[in-house]
Amino acid sequence: METYKGKVRLVIKNYPYKYRDYSHMAAEASLAAGDQGKYCEMHDLLLKNSPRLDRDSVIRYAKELGLDMKAFTASIEGFKHAAIIERDKKLAVDMDLYNTPTFFINGRKVIGNRSYEYLRKIVDEELKNAKR
Amino acid sequence: MKTNLAAALIFLFAVSFASAEEKRFTVPVDGSPVCGPPTAAVTIIEFIDFQ
Amino acid sequence: MRKDSISLLVALLFVLMTCGTVFAGHLEPFAGVPVQVKNPQTPEKTELGKQLFFDRRLSGDGTMSCATCHMPELAFTDGQDISLSYPTTKNWRNSPTLINVVFQKYLFHDGRSKTLEDQALFPMMSAFEMNKNLDFLEEQLRQVPAYVDSFRRVFNGEITRERIAMAIAAFERTLVSVNSPLDRFLRGDQKALSDEARKGLEVFEGKGKCADCHYGVNLSDDKFFALHVPENQALLNDPRVTATMRFVAKVYHYKDYRDLKEDPGRYLITKKKQDWKAFRTPTLRDIARTAPYMHNGVLATLDEVIDFFDRGGGEGNKALKPLGLTDDEKKALKTFMVEALSGDEIRIAYPAVP
């Protein structure tokens, strides 16, 4: 992402897998951080530390980002953003998506965990297209 | 406001490159978190599970 | 008329005798598929097989169907170096195309199955693929009235795992590469190939030695060779891949499975020394559509593949020798592979899954 600063924008849809234990809470945590203006920071932190996403770890990440802990904890414990997460999940199923991650790079579908080089190639193609 | 612009941008891309070989999908982005500037030439939408 | 019923007609019209008239180096045009005596093809059966192929009930968590890793749009592969896997696990090999599987004597990169009926159940049961308990699957499908009816019509009996596999196999046998420029050329249409592609064909049969193994109608000898393809770096040091590898090795009674660090290939199945790291010769039909290449997807493009063979394969292998192709010859060879070997695109009308 950093290589493409200013050129690439990331839109995040939550698609926590139903049988994973910490998936939902991690999604809640990211959105709770978003309420305090630190969504992207939390997003990166969660990915970096995945799969260490148990409750204590997530709270530690929030502290690292200097979030208001009372609001953050209340948010993840109250499943405050469940509606957004459910909406995203429904969208995914409606689009017949079942794999995470799935990317749409300017609408081009890329399924599965790809290498950085693979994604870079597509992003570069799109940047080139955009310049024309 | 930001997110509306995003949707419009994606739509534009979807249309302008419709002739390209690959199928392009339109994904609604309203009300979803965004990282990066709204003016970016490339929009990546990720369906993600952090775990 | 739908594509699969056309293929079926073709199959009925041209009865291909399978007894060995195929010689190494000799390319043949498509002239029909072998008739299936044990599992005869019928339109109802292939249609049922198609529904099952796209049915996510076949996976443990209901997220995957056969089509997840064999997508019609990607020539029945998933386009990844290493195949997609059951959520939270990792696969260790490339998803092979299903095009022309009807011609294969062995299935899987290590050839562990000899029939599609045998093959089809493996990924369903596999812990790192679809992870489905087959007893449970049978009971689930028996609760779907449309399937109960279809199985009764097609098999004159109830739903069993064997019949599920038979129907899927019948569908997969309709996925055939037909009407490629090579087919037309071999039938006598001199104009079917461009000059460059014809030059490539000469390299293919001559200096490039490709046709030594890639011959017959399916451009494959159905044998196994240890070419010492480089390891896919993504597979090394990933504990999830190690778990997958050792799990498969254990299932195949590989003695030191707890120490295994690399893919033993066909050795797992035969335990013969010459099969250590050997993998099946794949078809080259529609090869331009099935990147990335090799059993571990480590070669991303046909250029890389041609360079690999030109070098004489991987380090220490005894199957290949350097070819010394010129840049022009490599270019022509690639043109041949891209232009000549792609058949009519197989378009699948997605079925309504009951």
Query: If contacts are CB pairs under 8 Å, which of residues 11-50 in chain A contact chain B?
Result: 11-17, 20-23, 26-27, 30-31, 34, 39-40, 43, 46-47, 50
Q: Which chains touch B (3 or more CB pairs under 8 A)?
A: A
Total CB pairs under 8 A between chain A and B: 162
Residue C105 belongs to some domain of the structure: yes
Task: Look up the ipTM and state it.
Answer: 0.90
Q: Do A111 and C87 touch (CB under 8 A)?
A: no
Predicted pLDDT of residue C1: 44
Nearest chain C alpha carbon to A117: C300
* A2-16, A17-31, B13-27, C172-186: range with lowest mean pLDDT: B13-27
Nearest chain A CA: its distance from B22 CA (Å): 7
Task: Give the tens place of pLDDT for each residue, C49-92.
Answer: 999 999 999 999 999 999 999 999 999 999 999 999 998 899 99
The share of chain C scoring above pLDDT 90, in percent, equals 89
The CATH number of residue C145's host domain is: 1.10.760.10
CB contacts of C64 in chain A (<8 Å) are 98
Nearest chain A CA: its distance from C283 CA (Å): 25
pLDDT class for B3, splitting at 50, 70, 90? very low
pLDDT class for B21, splitting at 50, 70, 90? low
What does the pLDDT average to over C307-311? 98
Total domains, chain C: 1
Task: Give the tens place of pLDDT for each residue, A26-47.
Answer: 999 999 999 999 999 999 999 9
Q: What is the residue range of C143's domain?
A: 3-23+32-172
Residue C183 belongs to some domain of the structure: no
- Concatenating the DSSP letter of every residue in C284-317 gives -TTGGGS-SBSTT--B-SHHHHHHHHHTTSSTT-
Q: Do A10 and B34 touch (CB under 8 A)?
A: yes
Cα torsion for B26, B32, B34, B37, to the nearest 10°?
60
pLDDT above 70 for C10: no
pLDDT above 50 for A132: yes
What does the pLDDT average to over A86-100? 91
Per domain, the residue ranges of chain A are 13-96
Task: Give the tens place of pLDDT for each residue, C104-142.
Answer: 999 999 999 999 999 999 999 999 999 999 999 999 999
CB contacts of A17 in chain B (<8 Å) are 49, 51
Residue C158 belongs to some domain of the structure: yes
Per domain, the residue ranges of chain B are 1-51
pLDDT class for C7, splitting at 50, 70, 90? low
CB-based burial of residue C194 (10 Å sphere; 0-12 exposed, 13-18 middle, 19+ buried)? middle
What CATH superfamily is the domain A13-96? Glutaredoxin (3.40.30.10)
- Concatenating the DSSP letter of every residue in C22-83 gives --TT-B---------SSS---HHHHHHHHHHHT-GGGSTTS---HHHHSBGGGTTB-SSSS-
